Amino acid sequence: MMPVASDIVTVSDLKQFAFCPRIPYFSRVMPIRPPATELMERGQRLEEEFRRLEVRRSLSRYGWDRAKRHFGVYAMSESIGIAGRIDLALEREDAVAIIDVKASGGFVGDNHRMQAAAYQILAAEHFKKPCLCAFMYFLDRGCVERLELDAAWTERLRRAIEGIRAMSASHDFPPATAYRNACEQCEYRNFCGDVF
Taking 80 as the threshold, does the pLDDT of residue 186 lie above it?
yes
The mean pLDDT value of the chain amounts to: 90
Query: Which DSSP state fits 189?
Result: G
C-alpha angle with apex 75: 137 to 100, nearest 5 degrees? 5
Model confidence at 25, pLDDT cuts 50, 70, 90, reads: very high
Q: Which domains does the chain have, with CATH numbers?
A: 5-181 (3.90.320.10)
Instruction: Count CB atoms within 10 A of the CB of residue 131.
Output: 24
Mean pLDDT check: name the lowest of 32-46, 89-103, 133-147: 32-46
Residue 140, amino acid: D
